[in-house]
Structure 1
Amino acid sequence: MDEKPIYHEKQRLQFCLLHALNNLMQVTTCNFLCAIRDVVVKFNLFFVVKEKDSFRRAELDAIAEKLLADDPFRSQWTPLSLIFKPHHNVFTGNYDVNVLIAALESRRKRVVWHDRRNGASSINLAEESLLGIMLNIPVRRFGGVWSGRHWVSLRNINGVWYNLDSDLASPVSFEHQEEMREFLNNVIDQGGEILIILREKL
């Protein structure tokens, strides 16, 4: 039986979290039904079509807006806060970890923040409930003029771990777990954060 091709979204603007989530879930984004869902999410309508595992921009925007509704510091916002909101940028994305956690919880996934003091050796890559790993890494672009953070997903597909970074031209496989652990330790050394994504046990 032919294996399904690895799903890999490429980087667009600052929507790296959107791409990383879909690459992690390995579910091709839908077209017509998701377009309907975008309208439903935007206008808070009742939606009866079965939820897809893939994510769309409208859904992440809605999650970010819901988080804003409970922001205790909203009274301290400036006019720029209408664009550069605490959890996302209304034009380019740039979603934060709170959006990531809420999004994955909506798909019955649990996010565990890895204690960087323990290094990558403490991560059980053979854990049965392990769906994948999300990284938040510092990046510099445009010759170092602009610096920010970037979301990256790693996932074991058919027994092989892959780096599904949306900045890559295509997924890159790790030859063995030790190579992946070295990669993760380098992420920690460079100031990156590691989040373990677990499937909820039924």
Structure 2
Amino acid sequence: MEEGKTKIYHERQRLQFCLLHSLNNLFQGKDVFTKSDLNSIAEKLDVDDPNKGSWTPMSIVFKPHHNEITGNYDINVLIAALEQKSKTVVWHDRRNGASSIDLDGTDDRLMGIVLNVPVRKFSGLWRSRHWVTLKYIQGFWYNLDSDFAAPYAFKDTQEVREFLDGIITAGAEVLLVMNDKQ
């Protein structure tokens, strides 16, 4: 690491554990959350669900809030995990565009941004969604996508807004992760 260069934690993609990687990238630390942590959260959500469906043989692997083997966690797991760390999730109203997000805020309320982006692979035959974290670290916004070989530093907040507007248009969901007020 060069002297004066910011050290950024960046966890790389493995199977469908992008939510796990996004959370660890958001909190900038290895094992802030583990597969076991997220599986436990998903299991608790299932047990506590008053409207849970009936059991089938496929329920062993394909659970309501995740896949037992590969991950693929849903929004409910994200929200519950962040609540454990005293964070709040605010779903950004896509009709307002990225210009309504305070990326220059001085009150440190915005911890980061978690995106849920549509993904198409194999010539569009396979469709899914992917969790991605954007985080402000020592004066710069970074895209910490676990599919990237390294974090991508945005040149300024205007570039972040343009990126966000582009992915909102493409069907992404933008979730603002807020620090609770002290």
Question: 1:140 aligned to 2:120?
Answer: yes
Q: State the partner residue of 1:114.
A: 92
When normalised by structure 2's length, the TM-score is 0.93
Partner SS, residue 161 of structure 1: strand
Give the TM-score, by structure 1 length.
0.84
1:69 matched to 2:50 = no
> Residue 87 of structure 2 contacts residue 180 of structure 2 at CA under 8 Å; is this kept in 1?
yes
Which residue in the other structure is 2:151 paired with?
A: 171
2: CA distance between counterparts of 1:67 and 1:157?
32
The residue that corresponds to 1:196 in the other structure is 176
Of 16, 19, 25, 2:18 maps to: 16
2:78 and 2:52 map into 1 onto residues whose CA distance is 21
What is the SS of the residue equivalent to 1:74? Answer: coil
Q: Is 1:27 aligned to 2:7, yes or no?
A: no
Deviations 1:111-136 (A, max 9, x none): 10001111101001123211100000
SS in 1 for 2:135: strand
- Cα displacement (A) at 1:75: 4.0
Q: Secondary structure at the match of 1:76?
A: coil
Task: Please give the residue correspondences for 1:75-86 in structure 2 after superposition, counting only pairs within 5 Å.
Answer: 75-86=53-64
Aligned counterparts, 1:52-67, within 5 A: 54-67=32-45
Displacement over 4 Å in runs of 4+: 1-4
**What's the offset of the Cα at 1:163?**
0.2
- Contact 2:15–2:71, Cα closer than 8 Å, also in 1: yes
CA deviations on 1:55-112 (whole Å, 9 max, x unpaired) are 1110000000000002233343432223111100000000000000000110111110
**Structure 1 unaligned regions, length at least 5:** 30-53
Contact 2:104 2:157 in 1 (8 A): no
Separation (CA, whole Å) in 2 of partners of 1:75 and 1:162: 40
Q: Percent identity?
A: 58
Letter in 1 for 2:17: F
| Structure 1 Cα separation of the partners of residues 24 and 5 of structure 2 | 19
Q: What is the identity, as a one-letter code, of the residue corresponding to 1:165?
A: D
